[in-house]
Structure 1
Amino acid sequence: MKLIDLLANEVRASATYNSNVQAAPSAILWTDKLRQWESALPLLRAALPELIVLGDYAPEDKTGPAIWIKCVVEGVLPDVELPADRIPIVYLPGFERRDLRAISTCPDSLKPLAELQYRGCWWIYNNSGRDWTVNAFLVSSNGGAGLDVAKDEKTQQAMLRVLPETLESEDEELANRRLEAADFNKLVSSDPVRDLLSWMNDSKSCLERWDQSRWQALVGICETEYHFNPEKEGELTAAELLCQRQGIWESVWQRYVESCHYYPYIPQLLLKVQPDLAANGESYPAINADEEQQLEQSLNRLLSQDSAQARQALLTLDKQHGNRRRWLWSELSLAPLAGVLEHLSLVAEKTAKVFSGADADEMAAQYQASYWQADDGVLKALAFPLPTHQQVLVQQVLALIYTPWLDEVTRNFQGLVKAKGYPGSDQVNEATAEYAVGGEVVFFVDGLRYDIAQRLYLALQRLGEVRLASNWAALPSVTATAKAAVTPVNDRLTGRVTDRDFEPSLLDDDKDFSSYYLKKFLQEKGWQYLAEGDSGDPTSNAWVQSGDIDKEGHVKGLKLAARIDSLLAEIIERVEELIAAGWRKIRIVTDHGWMLTPAPMAKVELAKYVTETRWSRCAVVKDSVDTGYQQVGWHWNSEVSIAMAPGACSFKAGQHYDHGGLSLQECLTPVIEVRSTQPPVAASNITATLSDLRWLGLTCKIQAATSAESVVAVLRTHSADSESEITKRKPLKEGKCNLLVDDQYEGTSAVIVLLDDQDNVLAKKPTLVGGE
């Protein structure tokens, strides 16, 4: 691994948190009083695209004053975009941690960032509060490279002088020997291709850093091996030769391709090279840029065509531009429209036919076999990283090719339900059928639509035997109605005509079903209700609920698309915890899907006076009045009549995201079963019980009763994950021990875990670091 990659991983790892119980840090603060890391900023920017630097205003380099940085972190500057899946890193050259800690004496220029220390986290040396110096990073085996670096002045000076070159080196190249000044100096001349690319990337910076001997050595090598003189002919000549890729320059090109992310400014240089008629766009970014511009113009012209013409045009465009996705410029995010075109063309292909069937089940079978890919393609197109004006263009194209198809397919489905009935009314509920007597946990995920369940299904393959089935949601497809129907206690519920907001009642009482009664009835049934982070007893049955897909959809609308993979990652992490705790079977169920349209859904009128309750995609009708719209009976009481919004329409204006209606996207839900293939966890013959847990500052004082002397205690953020330990393990002596926690974890939700000598979890107890 290159040292720059190790550095990037360690900086990012400082923001590790428990997503089940904590909010993500707003930023990672990186102080550098001695400005040692500043010389490597071009390299750091390439490796850490989320890096923001305190300095003079230069937004193109993500550099600016404190108040500007604060705005970037909060995401309120539309012209500055950070990776959506990364926590911003704020680099503060010339300052140390205590400059922010002592707010009363904090420099005015820094004060806007002071509050980030409470919402963010620090990258600091071994939790000591000190800056990570370059030497500390290179020598430390805890959060650093673990190298042996001499401490004499010449070595330390050489180390700092060639910092970018050092970070570009592989750790194995520097390991297992003592590094002295000569070793660092050899980095200067040992790799002329790297020096050449570094000079092309930022000649001014290189000439400022390099001593004269290094520069002259490169000039000599270029004259004899690369057939040009960088001193006399300059970077543009080198760029022309690199694009041409003739002779030895082919090896330079291949080296550039392998390490392109470490040379972020070379594409700007290569764009100045004017290609001839025979030039290959694979190595000429100007050709790629021209084709991107042509593609954008072509996509804009689509908007004046009808849906069928636009779909055919997209397929043609993909044949013309699809090969650019294999070019280097796509990897460098310089061909975003060629990238998103892959998803647009898939949507065009899958929406070319408005399908139907003999009945709703046949239509569902076709959707499961192929047409779900249209919905998945829409989400991937909406999630693709693009400038704002191109995002709008993609939304307009999708509104042209996808929304009319979605509307017609939904009307076909509604027509079949009207003629043949809703299959979910009389079929076996796959979500609640045939529970295993013990060892099965039912994992409820709110709003797990069928198409994104396909992604989850593939991601879970490595954890065991995985099966994907389907189920029909209870009508209307809203959480209150449909979640109750997939719980193991659905037989304790009923619906009364007086019930409101689609919430069923208790069978033996007129009280509304709530989380209190879910837990109560589960307990009566012998099931466990597992809270976040709790793994339970895998010898019985349990209910788990997690995932914020539906919540994020209602809050973020179209921006949900970019959050899907992160939300699925949280679900996968929870499944891993349950399997590690010994659960043999996990059944993932959901309540409903949802409809997401690139433009707001068309509004249809439904008078308020004829409805008891009116939501976006469904409404309870007073006295079963004929509204003119398709009406169905409530799942919990067929005497309650519910009007359904037609097609992809809404009873409310401005809706991009909603559910409750009658469509395949809302009603056909997935059921995923994961059967663990890991050997069962061996039962321990050692017993342990936590009897007392108290905090004294950041020291956790533990008292337990154990049947053996070999029991150890440790604090984890995830009870079943040894990688999440935040303290050293300590043996219990006479049933007692103290665990000291670093102040960076203060206020963190954690779990005290007692382990035997085989690492089996004997007992655990949730706690808050530092006490309540």
Structure 2
Amino acid sequence: MKLIDLLAAEIRGSAAYNTNVQVAPSVILWTDKLCQWAPALPLLQAAMPELIVLGEYAPEKKTGPAIWIKCVVDGVLPEIVLPSDRTPIVYLPGVERRDLRAIGSCPDALKPLAELQYRGCWWIYSNSGRDWTVNAFLVSSNGGAGLDVAKDEKAQQAMLRVLPEILENEREELSNRRLEAADFNKLVSSDPVRDLLSWMNDSKSCRERWDASRWQALAGICETEYHFSPEQDGVLTAAELLCQHQGIWHSVWQRYTESCQHYPHLPELLLKVQPDLAADGASYPAINASEEKDLELSLQQLLQGGCDKARQSLKTLEQRHAKRRSWVWSELDLAPLAGALGHLSQVAEKTAKVFSGSDADEMAVQYREQYWQADDQVLKALACPLPASQQVLVQQVLALIYTPWLDEVTRNFQGLVRSKGYPGSNQVNEATAEYAVAGEVVFFVDGLRYDIAQRLNQALQHLGDVRLSATWAALPSVTATAKAAITPVHDRLTGRTTDRDFEPSLLDNDTDFSSYYLKKFLQEKGWQYLEEGDSGDPTSNAWVQSGDIDKEGHVKGLKLAARIDTLLAEVQERVEELLAAGWRKIRIVTDHGWMLTPASMAKVELAKHLTETRWGRCAVIKDSVDSGYQQVGWYWNSAVSIAMAPGACSFKAGQHYDHGGLSLQECLTPVIEVRSTQSPATSATTSATLSDLRWLGLTCKIQAQTASESVMAVLRTHAADAGSEISKRKPLKDGKCSLMVDDQYEHTSAVLVLLDEQGNVLAKLPTLVGGE
């Protein structure tokens, strides 16, 4: 990792906060009384586009006085746009923390910034409020680079003189040796290719921050080795030579393609190079930009034709543009439509045939073998980071080639259910019957559709013996009905004609089934209900629920596609924690899938007077009258008649995401079994439960319940990663323990972990270092 990347990560990391007890800081304040970091400002602002600087008014450089900075932070200056996904960083050269803390004596020029300290956070070296000096950052192993820097005056002066060059170096290249003045000076001319690319990336700032000797050294090397004069020929000539990458310039081009992210402005220069007719677009961004425009126009044009013609056009376009995804411009996000096209062409291929079968089970086999990939590619196409206008274009193409296929396949499935019956009517309880007697976690993930379960299945393969199978959801495919059907306590439930919102009631009275009764009945059966952070006793059985897929689908609609991988990563992390705690088998189950359409689902009319309850994809029909739509019996009571929306339609307008209907996407549900192949720990029977956690300054006081005196407590940044520990391990005594944390981790998100003798995680609880 380059030191500039490490520095950026550490500064941004100071904005970490506990969402349970805090609001997000609106700004990160970075004081630098000695102005040591100022010489590296161009590099710092290139690496952190959210960085704004206190100084003379120069908005083009994101620099200005205090009142201007406050306006930028509050987002009231439309001409200054900071990255929306980053916390603004305010660099304050010549200012120290106490200048703002002492509001009464705060200089007038700084007073507009004083209040930011109460809704922001600091990037500081310690609780004393000291600035992060360059030397402190380079030598510190906690929040810094952990390098060995000589303390003599010459070394310190050289270090500050070549600060930008230091930050552009990899940490590994500077580690494991003592850095003297000579080592820093060698950085000036040790890598002429890097200097050449840096100059091409931002010639003005390089000339401003480089001393005469460094510039003269580069100029001489360019004339003798690269056959051009930087002063006489300029950057455009260098850009032409780079695009041609002939002779010695080939090595410069290779370096650029390997580290292109470190030269963010270079493509702007290269775009000015006019390619000849025989030029290769792989090295000329102008050709790539032209191809992107042509692709956008072609996609707009194919919307004018029919579905079959559009599929053929996508195939032809893919043959032309696929190679662009291997170009460096794709890595730099300069070919986003070429990336989306790869998924669109796959959707076109997978949906070319509308499949059916002799019954619903046969359709399910075909879907599991290949057609799930159509849904997966749709999600990936929707997840591509595109400008808003191009996102709409992709949605329109998908609506043309995917939605009609989805509608026809769903109608085929519904027809088979009408004539042959729904296989889930007698298979749901078979899945629960297979729950192990002991030693198994049943991990419920709401809305884990079969195609994204394929992604999760692949991500879990390294954990042991992992197998993906499928079953059917209880009808209608909504959480209230289908989740209850797969719980270990389903035999305590029934359905009454008076039940509402598809929620079953208790068998022995008409009380609605709720989370309270789920926990109560699990306990009566000898099952554990594990809250977030609990690991439980691996010799018993446990029910775990996590994941916000369905919730985010209802809230975000089409934007769910871009969140899938993040949501699955959270599930994977929880699985890893449970395995680390000693569980040998985890069964991941779900209640239902969902339907996601690129355009709003077509609305079909259903008279309100016919319905007791009406959702988007299903509705309870009064007195089982004929609604004109396909009707099925409620899983919990077949006397309750439920109308199903036909095809990919909805009883409500404006729906992109919904479930409850009768489709393979909603009803065919995955089951993932994870069996650990590691030898079970000898202390797997040890259990512990966290009961209290409090912070006194930087001391974490905990209390837990455990029958063993060998349980250890530790704080980590990642629960299952022993390498992320930020405190010493300490044993629990009478269930109590105090852990001390270095002040560099103040306000850092962490996890309190309880371990057995073998290091297995017994319990965990997220916290904020120093938080209340």
Answering whether residue 71 of structure 2 is matched by residue 67 of structure 1, we say yes
In 1, are the aligned partners of 2:222 and 2:230 still within 8 Å (CA)? yes
In 1, are the aligned partners of 2:716 and 2:750 still within 8 Å (CA)? yes
In 2, are the aligned partners of 1:32 and 1:96 still within 8 Å (CA)? yes
Secondary structure of the corresponding residue to residue 219 of structure 2:
helix
Q: What root-mean-square deviation, in Å, do the aligned CA atoms of Structure 1 and Structure 2 show?
A: 3.4
Residues matched between the structures, number: 762
Question: What letter is aligned with 2:52?
Answer: V
In 2, are the aligned partners of 1:431 and 1:471 still within 8 Å (CA)? yes
**Which residue number corresponds to residue 250 of structure 2?**
250
Question: What letter is aligned with 2:28?
Answer: L
Answering whether residue 348 of structure 2 is matched by residue 348 of structure 1, we say yes
After superposition, give the CA deviation of every residue in 1:575-614 in whole Å (9 maximum; x if it has no partner): 0110000000000011111111111111111111110001
Secondary structure of the corresponding residue to residue 187 of structure 2:
helix
**Which residue number corresponds to residue 497 of structure 2?**
497
Q: C-alpha distance in 1, partners of 2:645/2:347?
A: 24
Q: C-alpha distance in 2, partners of 1:441/1:62?
A: 55
Answering whether residue 330 of structure 2 is matched by residue 330 of structure 1, we say yes
Question: What letter is aligned with 1:555?
Answer: V
Q: C-alpha distance in 1, partners of 2:164/2:674?
A: 47
Q: For residues 571 and 33 of structure 1, do their structure 2 counterparts lie closer, same or farther at Cα, with a shift above 3 Å needed?
A: same
Quote the offset at 1:66 in angstroms. Answer: 3.3
In 2, are the aligned partners of 1:410 and 1:648 still within 8 Å (CA)? yes
Secondary structure of the corresponding residue to residue 671 of structure 2:
strand
Q: For residues 456 and 471 of structure 1, do their structure 2 counterparts lie closer, same or farther at Cα, with a shift above 3 Å needed?
A: same
Secondary structure of the corresponding residue to residue 278 of structure 1:
coil
**Which residue number corresponds to residue 584 of structure 1?**
584
Q: C-alpha distance in 1, partners of 2:619/2:126?
A: 58
**Which residue number corresponds to residue 90 of structure 1?**
89
Answering whether residue 32 of structure 2 is matched by residue 33 of structure 1, we say yes
**Which residue number corresponds to residue 364 of structure 2?**
364
* Bigger shift: residues 521-530 or 720-729: 720-729
In 1, are the aligned partners of 2:538 and 2:685 still within 8 Å (CA)? no
Q: For residues 228 and 359 of structure 1, do their structure 2 counterparts lie closer, same or farther at Cα, with a shift above 3 Å needed?
A: same
Question: What letter is aligned with 1:222?
Answer: C
**Which residue number corresponds to residue 660 of structure 2?**
660
Q: C-alpha distance in 1, partners of 2:735/2:751?
A: 18
After superposition, give the CA deviation of every residue in 1:163-213 in whole Å (9 maximum; x if it has no partner): 221122222332233323332121111111111111111111011111111
Secondary structure of the corresponding residue to residue 444 of structure 2:
strand
What is the correspondence of 1:619-634 to structure 2 with a 5 Å cutoff?
619-634=619-634
* Bigger shift: residues 378-387 or 59-68: 59-68
In 2, are the aligned partners of 1:350 and 1:371 still within 8 Å (CA)? yes
**Which residue number corresponds to residue 488 of structure 1?**
488
Q: For residues 41 and 360 of structure 1, do their structure 2 counterparts lie closer, same or farther at Cα, with a shift above 3 Å needed?
A: farther
Q: C-alpha distance in 1, partners of 2:248/2:452?
A: 47
Q: C-alpha distance in 2, partners of 1:707/1:92?
A: 52
* Bigger shift: residues 146-155 or 691-700: 691-700
**Which residue number corresponds to residue 616 of structure 2?**
616
Quote the offset at 1:123 in angstroms. Answer: 3.9
What is the correspondence of 1:714-733 to structure 2 with a 5 Å cutoff?
714-715=714-715, 721-723=721-723, 725-730=725-730
Q: C-alpha distance in 2, partners of 1:658/1:741?
A: 46
Q: For residues 748 and 323 of structure 1, do their structure 2 counterparts lie closer, same or farther at Cα, with a shift above 3 Å needed?
A: closer
In 1, are the aligned partners of 2:137 and 2:143 still within 8 Å (CA)? yes
In 2, are the aligned partners of 1:430 and 1:471 still within 8 Å (CA)? no
Q: For residues 209 and 27 of structure 1, do their structure 2 counterparts lie closer, same or farther at Cα, with a shift above 3 Å needed?
A: same
Q: C-alpha distance in 2, partners of 1:169/1:98?
A: 33
Secondary structure of the corresponding residue to residue 433 of structure 2:
coil
Q: C-alpha distance in 2, partners of 1:719/1:280?
A: 49
**Which residue number corresponds to residue 396 of structure 1?**
396
**Which residue number corresponds to residue 210 of structure 1?**
210
After superposition, give the CA deviation of every residue in 1:670-719 in whole Å (9 maximum; x if it has no partner): 11110011221222899999999776555445678999997754345776
After superposition, give the CA deviation of every residue in 1:211-241 in whole Å (9 maximum; x if it has no partner): 1111111111111111111011100000011
Secondary structure of the corresponding residue to residue 393 of structure 1:
helix
Secondary structure of the corresponding residue to residue 188 of structure 1:
coil
Q: C-alpha distance in 1, partners of 2:642/2:352?
A: 32
Q: C-alpha distance in 2, partners of 1:662/1:53?
A: 54
**Which residue number corresponds to residue 647 of structure 1?**
647
After superposition, give the CA deviation of every residue in 1:315-350 in whole Å (9 maximum; x if it has no partner): 110110010000010001111111111111111111
Gaps of 5+ in 2: none
Quote the offset at 1:735 in angstroms. Answer: 8.2
Q: C-alpha distance in 1, partners of 2:540/2:601?
A: 45
Q: C-alpha distance in 2, partners of 1:764/1:293?
A: 51
Q: For residues 462 and 655 of structure 1, do their structure 2 counterparts lie closer, same or farther at Cα, with a shift above 3 Å needed?
A: same
Answering whether residue 455 of structure 2 is matched by residue 455 of structure 1, we say yes
What is the correspondence of 1:273-352 to structure 2 with a 5 Å cutoff?
273-352=273-352
Residue identity over aligned pairs, in percent, reads 76
Q: For residues 715 and 265 of structure 1, do their structure 2 counterparts lie closer, same or farther at Cα, with a shift above 3 Å needed?
A: closer
Question: What letter is aligned with 1:522?
Answer: L
* Structure-2-length-normalised TM-score: 0.90
Quote the offset at 1:248 in angstroms. Answer: 0.6
Question: What letter is aligned with 2:508?
Answer: D
What is the correspondence of 1:439-478 to structure 2 with a 5 Å cutoff?
439-478=439-478
What is the correspondence of 1:233-244 to structure 2 with a 5 Å cutoff?
233-244=233-244
**Which residue number corresponds to residue 600 of structure 1?**
600
**Which residue number corresponds to residue 110 of structure 1?**
113
Secondary structure of the corresponding residue to residue 654 of structure 2:
coil
Question: What letter is aligned with 1:233?
Answer: D
**Which residue number corresponds to residue 526 of structure 1?**
526
* Bigger shift: residues 751-760 or 480-489: 751-760
Secondary structure of the corresponding residue to residue 172 of structure 2:
helix
Quote the offset at 1:508 in angstroms. Answer: 1.1
In 2, are the aligned partners of 1:22 and 1:749 still within 8 Å (CA)? no
Quote the offset at 1:429 in angstroms. Answer: 4.0
Quote the offset at 1:116 in angstroms. Answer: 3.9
Q: C-alpha distance in 2, partners of 1:81/1:400?
A: 36
After superposition, give the CA deviation of every residue in 1:589-647 in whole Å (9 maximum; x if it has no partner): 11111111111111111111110001111110001111111111000000000111111
Q: For residues 557 and 130 of structure 1, do their structure 2 counterparts lie closer, same or farther at Cα, with a shift above 3 Å needed?
A: farther
In 1, are the aligned partners of 2:322 and 2:338 still within 8 Å (CA)? yes
Q: For residues 718 and 193 of structure 1, do their structure 2 counterparts lie closer, same or farther at Cα, with a shift above 3 Å needed?
A: closer
Q: For residues 108 and 667 of structure 1, do their structure 2 counterparts lie closer, same or farther at Cα, with a shift above 3 Å needed?
A: farther
Question: What letter is aligned with 1:178?
Answer: R
Quote the offset at 1:149 in angstroms. Answer: 1.8
After superposition, give the CA deviation of every residue in 1:228-286 in whole Å (9 maximum; x if it has no partner): 11011100000011111111111111111111111111110010000011111111111
Question: What letter is aligned with 1:250?
Answer: H
Q: For residues 394 and 522 of structure 1, do their structure 2 counterparts lie closer, same or farther at Cα, with a shift above 3 Å needed?
A: same
Q: C-alpha distance in 2, partners of 1:359/1:366?
A: 11
Q: C-alpha distance in 2, partners of 1:402/1:101?
A: 59
Quote the offset at 1:766 in angstroms. Answer: 8.5
**Which residue number corresponds to residue 567 of structure 1?**
567
* Structure-1-length-normalised TM-score: 0.90
What is the correspondence of 1:131-170 to structure 2 with a 5 Å cutoff?
131-170=131-170
Quote the offset at 1:764 in angstroms. Answer: 7.5
* Bigger shift: residues 591-600 or 422-431: 422-431
After superposition, give the CA deviation of every residue in 1:464-487 in whole Å (9 maximum; x if it has no partner): 110001111111111100000110
Q: For residues 112 and 681 of structure 1, do their structure 2 counterparts lie closer, same or farther at Cα, with a shift above 3 Å needed?
A: same
In 2, are the aligned partners of 1:97 and 1:130 still within 8 Å (CA)? yes
In 2, are the aligned partners of 1:222 and 1:228 still within 8 Å (CA)? yes
Quote the offset at 1:33 in angstroms. Answer: 2.3
